[in-house]
């Protein structure tokens, strides 16, 4: 069988294969690069896993995997966490009465690029954090811990994201305005609008996949009502955008096609 067969993705859907591939890569590859985790880096890792347990709408075996990893990390009270111990704790357990499995293959569907160096992991990371900000906004009082997910993302990106230039750009945006976010819905819109800022900056550049041009998202054909014109100038209808994001990044819009 030809495993590199092109996968036909529908850009109006979110794919579990992208989400699980991103989790696998972020936890087992990016976070396991350092020989030991300690200090702020260890805290960032614990925070990332705790946020996933709270808000990632995963399949039962993945939820169990994340819960087990989270409890294991909570029990790790020494200041240094060696990579060998972490790698052991991140192994799958298929034999238990509640299997704890995060697939170890990397399969991109919605995030598949036209060449291997395009899209993939960075696309998955944006997708995961949009999803988490939306799930957090749907699950608790708006004014309670508004920065919970955004600050987790900020710490993850700062300490683990392999693209250092990306991390610096993101940190600069975060330092400028993230702390002014006062509600969970505002956090959703902060990430959406700053992702669009990144899209605008990267449009036409050499990291752009020619088959997936950087757009201001969602484009009019995906959400006509999200767009308005005020005196001939483009404007977003932010309430409609929020409604669109809640539907796009909802568990009901996550498809299992190509998931292991």
| Interface with ligand FAD (CB under 6 A) | 11, 111, 119, 122-123, 125-127, 130, 157, 165-166, 169-170, 192, 195-196, 198-199, 202, 207, 209, 212, 217
Which tokens in the block code for residue 104? 């170890």
Which tokens in the block code for residue 11? 């850009």
The residue whose two tokens read 């939820």 is: 63
Shortest distance (Å) from residue 191 CB to ligand FAD? 7
DSSP-H helix ranges across 16-147: 16-24, 39-55, 60-75, 83-89, 121-139
Contact 121, 25 (CB under 8 A): yes
Shortest distance (Å) from residue 129 CB to ligand FAD? 7
Bridge partners (DSSP) of residue 233 are 230
The residue whose two tokens read 């991390």 is: 167
CA distance 204 to 198: 12
DSSP at 108: -
Shortest distance (Å) from residue 29 CB to ligand FAD? 15
Shortest distance (Å) from residue 208 CB to ligand FAD? 7
Question: Given the complex with ligand FAD, which of 81 and 128 has the nearer CB atom?
Answer: 128
For the chain, the farthest-separated pair of C-alpha atoms sits apart, in whole angstroms, at: 63
Question: Given the complex with ligand FAD, which of 119 and 184 has the nearer CB atom?
Answer: 119
DSSP at 71: H
Question: Given the complex with ligand FAD, which of 101 and 192 has the nearer CB atom?
Answer: 192
Shortest distance (Å) from residue 248 CB to ligand FAD? 7
CA distance 47 to 55: 12
Question: Given the complex with ligand FAD, which of 91 and 234 has the nearer CB atom?
Answer: 234
Question: Given the complex with ligand FAD, which of 82 and 208 has the nearer CB atom?
Answer: 208
How many CB atoms are located within 10 Å of the residue 17 CB?
26
Shortest distance (Å) from residue 187 CB to ligand FAD? 13
Question: Given the complex with ligand FAD, which of 111 and 259 has the nearer CB atom?
Answer: 111
């Amino acid at each position: 069988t030809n495993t590199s067969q092109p996968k036909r993705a529908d850009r109006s859907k979110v794919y579990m294969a992208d989400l699980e591939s991103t989790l696998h890569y972020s936890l087992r590859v990016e976070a396991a690069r350092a020989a030991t985790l300690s200090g702020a880096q260890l805290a960032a890792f614990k925070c990332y896993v705790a946020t996933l347990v709270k808000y990632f709408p995963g399949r039962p075996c993945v939820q169990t995997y994340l819960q087990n990893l989270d409890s294991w990390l909570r029990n790790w009270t020494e200041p240094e966490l060696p990579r060998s111990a972490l790698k052991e704790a991140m192994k799958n357990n298929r034999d238990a009465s509640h299997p704890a499995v995060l697939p170890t293959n990397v399969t991109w569907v919605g995030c598949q690029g036209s060449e291997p160096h395009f899209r993939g992991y960075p696309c998955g990371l944006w997708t995961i954090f949009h999803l988490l900000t939306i799930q957090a906004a749907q699950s608790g009082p708006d004014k309670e811990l508004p920065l919970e997910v955004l600050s987790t993302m900020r710490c993850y990106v700062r300490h683990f994201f392999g693209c250092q230039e990306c991390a610096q750009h993101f940190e600069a945006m975060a330092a400028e305005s993230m702390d002014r976010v006062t509600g969970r819905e505002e956090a959703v819109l902060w990430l959406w609008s700053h992702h669009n800022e990144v899209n605008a900056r990267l449009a036409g550049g050499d990291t752009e996949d020619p088959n997936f041009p950087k757009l201001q998202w969602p484009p009019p054909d995906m959400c006509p009502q999200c767009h308005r014109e005020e005196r001939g100038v483009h404007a977003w209808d932010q309430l409609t955008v929020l409604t669109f994001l809640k539907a796009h990044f909802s568990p009901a819009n996550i498809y299992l096609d190509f998931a292991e």
